[in-house]
Structure 1
Amino acid sequence: MMRCLREVNVDNNTVGWYQSTLLGSYQTVELIETFMNYQENIRRCVCIIYDPSKSNQGVLALKALKLSDSFMELYRSNNFTGEKLREKNLTWVDIFEEIPCDYDRLQLVTTPYMERNLEFLVECMDDLSMEQQKFQFYYRNLSRQQAQQQAWLQKRRAENMARKASGEEPLPEEDPSNPIFKPIPEPSRLDSFLITNQIGNYCNQINGVAGQNFSRLYLTKALHEN
């Protein structure tokens, strides 16, 4: 298509790319990496998300996305610790910015589409639960390590008091060679951010479908009453 446009002297600058998705399942690290690669040559690149499963129901399912500047800056540093996220005031909703497209009025609702969204939502909730377990495990290990460090420090201080009383030099109160003083790396929060963003996307889709269904139900009820 780009070649054909070029041959007839029509604007044919690359401004991004498009990719298909199943029920809006596009919140992946691969998509972010593609964005970052495009950003090297195209400062304001856009990705068009096309959902064929939704389009089969009679809706032109297109969504235009770009990465937020604040997220790109953090992604380049590859530091998704809780402290850094709080410092940048970044949450899961700040990963992508959606360029508005007015296709909602064309939406047709079907039960299978609603069911599949709910199934994918449940899967995402399971994935999010697993990510939360990683952080719980990290904080348990961190708490255990801090308790071990405190116990070691109290023991060393008591030992130094005894050495001081006997006229000996005190021992250092830090021992980097001791395994309990080795820092425990904090898990990256990128996956949990993407999963939470995906959950938000599914919820918005379900909310849109449910809202239209209720509108139709109220309209049908009013017609029957009349």
Structure 2
Amino acid sequence: MASMAAAIAASLPAPAAATPSSVKPTYVDIHPSMAKLIDPMGNIPVTGVQLDAMVVSKIIKHGREAAFGSGSLLGLDFDGTLEVSNSFPLPAFSEEEDKAAKNVAQANYQRRMITYLREVQGDESVVGFYQISSVPLRQSYVELQAADSERLRQGGIILIHDPSQSTRGIASFKAFRLTKTFLAAHKQKKFATQSLIDHGLTFSTIFEELPIRIHTSCLATAFLNTCAAPRPPTTLQTIAAKSMMAVPAPFTSIPSDFTQLDLGLPSTMIRNLEQVVEGLDSYKTEENNVAFLSRQIAREKAKADAHIASRKEENARRVAQGLPPLPEDDVSRLFKIPPEPSRLESMLILGQVDASAKTLEEATSAGLVRLYAAQAPS
């Protein structure tokens, strides 16, 4: 019996080795040839922006429908280039409505749109937002960009489109992102004079402009070429033209636009002049407010210093008389010294004046060239 049991046991297959209950996942490193292109940790800084032609068309169309507006930009960063492949506008609200309610409504709308794009396998990664405005430096833009820099990959960008330039045939797009020095000051929530000096902040160091490149698909390029290139007449057109003894049309192309040769004063120049004057008035008003607060702070500090001096003299007399001194740390309780006013608004207004002046310079330089070319030879 023992020999039979041993034979049966020998004929059975060997028991399989016990497998561990949990297998640790294995990670495969990115190949060195692709390590400079694929950046899952976001270590490659963004040095440029690439806009799809469809995104440019959508933003221009939005700018023609509304003088002011905003929207979200979708895409991804690849090899140091932020490729924006899609966009959608956000709902607009009046200035009288509550700011917090507007932000919640826009956030809910953006969330729903991203869900719909995910269902149709579209781009869903938000890389920034765009604004339709002729002034790039506004405090609302700065606050929104600072909030996006904490939750978006690579900090996100803000794309400014000037609709007044598109009426002259100029697609005005500028991409900006906040600098590291401004983000460091924004985290401290201090924009007093000393803080600006310590961080080296001016209106020109708040934003960093990124170069923009527009990418057009092959089909769109072919369509534009067929619209602009000469098209020879067909055989039927040739026969009909010869029979009617008429000269056939050599080609069909996009009609010429001679608005660039208009010597009149463009409306954009007038608007830029108005923006410069309005900016200077706003800066003067803001400086008056800062000066008033500074005088109020100086008066409170003078009262506090006088109180401390009189308290020290009184304590000296009490000590000489053998009495306990009175406390000197009740100045903050007796005198409410307001904090130093923020200089951020003044700095942003100066940036708006500078941007309007540069746009005015571009418009006037083109007008001077046209006037010089139209002069009669002497």
TM value normalised by structure 1: 0.81
The 3-state SS of whatever aligns with 1:19 is strand
Amino acid at match of 2:132: S
Q: Deviations over 1:127-148 (max 9, x none)?
A: 2112111210121112212221
- Give the SS at the match of 1:92: coil
CA distance in 1 between counterparts of 2:167 and 2:302 reads 58
Cross-structure match for 2:129: 17
Distance in 1 of aligned mates of 2:350 and 2:309? 42
The list of structure 1 runs, each at least 4 consecutive aligned residues, that deviate by more than 4 angstroms after superposition, is 1-4, 9-14, 107-110
- Matched residue, 1:197: 351
What's the CA shift string for 1:10-40, capped at 9, x where partnerless?
Answer: 987543232211xx12422322233234331
Q: What is the distance in 2 between the residues matched to 1:190 and 1:47?
A: 19
Q: What is the percent sequence identity of the aligned residues? A: 30
Q: Which runs of 5+ in 2 are unaligned?
A: 1-85, 88-115, 215-258
Corresponding residue for residue 65 of structure 1: 176
Structure 1 position 94, deviation (Å): 1.0
Larger RCO: 1 or 2 (CA < 8 Å, sep 6+): 1
Instruction: Describe the superposition over 1:132-168 as per-residue Cα deviations: whole angstroms up to 9, x where unpaired.
Output: 1121012111221222123223322332333233232
Once the two structures are superposed, residues 151-187 of structure 1 have per-residue CA deviations (whole angstroms, 9 ceiling, x without a partner) of 223322332333233232332334235432x331122
Take 2:303 and 2:122, find their aligned partners in 1: how far apart are those partners? 69
Q: Which residue in the other structure is 1:89 paired with? A: 200
Q: Which amino acid aligns with 1:190?
A: L
C-alpha offsets along residues 31-89 of structure 1, whole Å, 9 cap, x if unaligned?
Answer: 22332343312214222211222211221111112111221222222221211111111
Q: Which has more helix, going by share of residues? A: 1
> Aligned partners of 2:322, 2:155: CA distance in 1, in Å?
70
Q: 1:81 to 1:169 in 2, by over 3 A?
A: same
- In structure 1, how many angstroms separate the alpha carbons of the residues matched to 2:334 and 2:289? 21
1:220–1:32 CA distance, 2 compared to 1 (3 A): same
- Residue 141 (structure 2) aligns with: 31
Does 2:295 align with 1:140? yes
Say yes or no: does 1:42 pair with 2:197.
no
With normalisation by structure 2, the TM-score equals 0.51
Q: Give the aligned residue type for 2:311.
A: R
Cα distance in 1 for partners of 2:372, 2:132 equals: 35
CA distance 1:60–1:156, shift in 2 (3 Å): same
Alignment of 1:96-135 (within 5 A): 96-101=207-212, 110-135=265-290
Separation of aligned partners in 1, 2:319 and 2:189:
47
Q: Confirm whether residue 186 of structure 1 aligns to residue 298 of structure 2.
A: no
SS in structure 2 at match of 1:94: coil
Q: 1:152 to 1:57 in 2, by over 3 A?
A: same
SS at match of 2:330: coil
Distance 2:303 2:276 in 1: 41
Are the counterparts in 1 of residues 301 and 337 from structure 2 also a CA contact under 8 Å?
A: no
Change (3 A) 1:179 1:225: farther
Separation (CA, whole Å) in 2 of partners of 1:155 and 1:191: 39
What is the rounded CA distance, in whole Å, between the counterparts of 2:141 and 2:154 in structure 1? 16
Higher strand content, 1 or 2: 2
